[in-house]
Copies of this chain bind each other. A is one copy, B any other.
């Protein structure tokens, strides 16, 4: 493991990346990261000065494109060097001060995360637990708001861990707003895969990551504050505990061509290209593509005799949860489909499901057929009776029933 060296600590012998990475890349059909387009990969190899004129132009365009993708006219688009969790932490830690009340609608693992973050900064944290197979109920949220009178309400559009879709997001946001709450929405796995109208729905902060619907790299994330949310940030009396996530320091870089920390230059280039692809495709066409592909996949899965975990009315399309057949575990299935068919899908966090992503580049017909074939074959290999030909036929029928939209190339 080590080579001799005149220094104290000797050099390790390591394998090259080529030896570690499979010769043919595995198809990433899990809950993210997702495959990235060639132009995003290429942009991610570019490093330039983080404070020069070219960077300023890139940042200006990233903000302009983000406003379209988030459907907002708000000025307060901010990027953050880090995962989507960093954007979550930025939202929570800048809006909340010690002792203030926050209500977190908890649909599962990820929607609990903002409650956890709020606890750490000394907020008075309340959680409304939603039963696992259900979407959040607006009237129950209203009751909880009336009870705890929170300054901030947090809510997930789609809970990645159990594949629940909070289809009443708009109604809940408007209820919360009528009580004077600031509404923070985690759209990490949903942004650009389904409608979200930040301004029209009266949402105060929307959070997303790079490596989901946007099909960019993990490590650079985006969030937008409304004017109300930004006024709250500006008027706080306690310093933000998180130096890196202090929105007013981030403003220096994202809005004043100034310095906060060395920005993740290459990741911002990648994000620029990913956002440009969304703009070129248009949101309307992108939403239609996601819906068509996800519904076709769901038809195929059910057509071969497997069950979808979440009832149709609260089912998320961007991550599809499939109930694990009796006698198997998620890791049995994930290992086999990866080893034998070179397709990666995901297990879950505490639920008896495997998950297939339908975000960004995952939503392409050729990926659907390869994935459904791999999933059905894996089930058969592992002794589960499935009708794979019928699954394929159902998926194809669904695709035929909904016309494919030919994307404009701008």
Contacts and interface: CB of A to CB of B under 8 A. Distances in A.
A199 interface: yes
* A interface, size bucket: 35 or more
A254 to B, nearest CB: 14
B8 A200 contact: yes
A278 to B, nearest CB: 9
* Centre residue among A26, A121, A261 by max chain B CB count within 10 A: A261
Interface string A103-123: 000000000010011011100
Contacts of A211: 47, 262, 265
Interface majority SS (helix, strand, loop, mixed), chain A: loop
Given A12-B68, A242-B241, A272-B17, A266 B61 contact: no
A58 B20 CA distance: 8
B47 A45 contact: no
Contact of A241 (B121, B263, B284): B121
A209 to B, nearest CB: 7
Interface stretch (A31-39, A125-133, A368-376): A31-39
A276 to B, nearest CB: 6
Interface of A: 1, 5-12, 14-17, 20-22, 25-26, 28, 30, 32-33, 35-36, 41-50, 52, 54, 57-58, 61, 64-65, 67-68, 71-73, 81-86, 89, 93, 113, 116-117, 119-121, 197, 199-200, 209, 211, 217-220, 239-245, 261-267, 269, 272-273, 276, 279, 282-284, 338, 344
